[in-house]
Amino acid sequence: MQKTLQDLRKDKKLTQEQTSKILIITKEYLSMLENGDRNPSDSLKEKMAKLYNCSIADIFLAVNSTKRLKKEKIRKR
């Protein structure tokens, strides 16, 4: 199964607070990204790829995986 943005962050053993400071975004915005409520800009995807030591394509796939999980949760309600 494809990793989500949250999985990538947790693989690096980073908290949302630590990650948001490194990426220079708010913790709330990071939470929205990890919940599939917002899409990161291309420049933020680049920063995430560097931080998580992966490709931009991996970030794109993680965003899609995050959104897919959100849709599945909504359907189950």
Instruction: Identify the structural domains of the chain with CATH numbers, from first to last.
Output: 5-70 (1.10.260.40)
26-40 pLDDT, tens digit per residue, is 999 999 999 999 999
23-77 pLDDT, tens digit per residue, is 999 999 999 999 999 999 999 999 999 999 999 999 999 999 999 998 888 888 8
Q: Which residue has the tokens 């693989």?
A: 11
Quote the crossing angle between the two packed helices 56-76 and 27-34, to the nearest 10°: 70
State how far Cα 23 lies from the chain centre.
Answer: 11
